[in-house]
């Protein structure tokens, strides 16, 4: 019984530290021309354009996975001010973890024509991104999580080449992971120590 209660306490401590990223603002966008190959996602036709991604804990960490592209321009993805990859990278390939910051500090850049789109968008630029997903009849948004649900969000970038707007010029999967607070580590270690002590007492008896 004691062991069960301790295990439950440990699970509660870990569960209380879930990372959360929220979407703020953005515009409903429906588009055509998004191709599944070479983009390693299901075909997409809608998303929330230029929504701001905000983390509930700036110490959480994110990983970014390059999922593919269909673009003539060279497009880049930056996190925390540093270039992480461009659309010539192997797909899929994962980078990070990086501190999430709040809002998330990322941007897309079309290196061919210089267009840049930070988190939250750039109303003056043709280039933009969408958080891929679907809308119901009441226009409520549900984010797409990848072919196997492995991402928190999948972002599709449309670069500055004004021949289309299909959001597959650079596709990025984002995964947010929690960084436990020091108090959580201490509680887990104390719980494990007590469980070990109880186990030894049982063997001794």
Q: According to the model, what pLDDT value does residue 65 have?
A: 98
What is the domain extent for residue 153?
21-180
Q: Which pair of structure tokens corresponds to residue 197?
A: 């002590």
Give domain status of residue 185, yes or no: no
User: Which tops the pLDDT comparison, 204 or 118?
Assistant: 118
pLDDT tens per residue across span 91-105: 999 999 999 999 999
Q: Is there a domain that residue 189 lies in?
A: no
pLDDT at position 85 is: 98
Q: Is residue 2's pLDDT more than 50?
A: no
Residue 198 lies in a domain: no
**Using omega within 30 degrees of 0 as the cis cutoff, is the peptide bond preceding 103 cis?**
yes
For residue 199, is it within any domain?
no
- Provide the number of structural domains found in the chain: 1
State mean pLDDT over 155-176.
Answer: 96
Quote the pLDDT of residue 124. Answer: 83
Q: Which residue from 132, 122, 136 is spatially nearest to 173, judged by alpha carbons?
A: 132
Q: Dihedral of CA 119/123/127/130: which sign?
A: positive
| Mean per-residue pLDDT of the chain | 86
How far is Cα 59 from Cα 97, in angstroms, rounded to an integer? 11
Distance from C-alpha of 18 to C-alpha of 147, rounded to nearest angstrom: 23
Q: What is the number of other CB atoms lying within 10 angstroms of the CB of residue 148?
A: 6
Q: Does residue 32 sit within a domain? A: yes
Q: Is residue 194 part of a domain?
A: no
Q: Which residues contact 78 (CB under 8 A, 6 or more apart)?
A: 84, 106, 107, 108, 109
| CA angle (127 as vertex; 172, 40 as ends), nearest 5 | 25
Residue 30 lies in a domain: yes
Largest CA distance in the chain: 77
pTM of the predicted model as reported, rounded to 2 decimal places: 0.81
Strands (E) across the chain are located at 21-24, 27-30, 46-49, 52-55, 61-68, 75-79, 82-86, 93-99, 106-110, 116-118, 128-135, 141-143, 153-158, 170-177
Least Cα distance to 168 among 89, 25, 66 occurs for 66
């Amino acid at each position: 019984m004691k062991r069960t209660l301790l295990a439950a306490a440990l699970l509660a401590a870990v569960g209380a530290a879930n990372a959360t990223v929220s979407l703020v603002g953005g515009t409903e966008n429906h588009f055509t021309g998004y191709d599944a190959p070479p983009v390693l996602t299901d075909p997409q036709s809608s998303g929330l354009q230029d929504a701001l991604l905000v983390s509930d804990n700036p110490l959480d960490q994110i990983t970014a996975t390059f999922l593919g592209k269909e673009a003539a321009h060279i497009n880049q993805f930056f996190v925390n001010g540093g270039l992480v990859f461009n659309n010539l990278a192997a797909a899929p390939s994962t980078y990070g973890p990086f501190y999430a910051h709040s809002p998330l500090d990322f941007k897309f850049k079309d290196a061919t024509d210089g267009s840049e789109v930070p988190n939250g968008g750039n109303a003056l630029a043709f280039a933009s991104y969408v958080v891929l997903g679907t809308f119901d009849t009441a226009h409520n948004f549900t984010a797409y999580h990848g072919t196997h649900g492995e991402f928190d969000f999948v972002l599709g970038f449309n670069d500055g080449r004004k021949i289309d707007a299909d959001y597959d010029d650079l596709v990025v999967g984002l995964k947010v992971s929690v960084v436990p607070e020091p108090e959580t580590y201490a509680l887990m270690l104390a719980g494990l120590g007590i469980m070990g002590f109880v186990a030894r007492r049982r063997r001794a008896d």
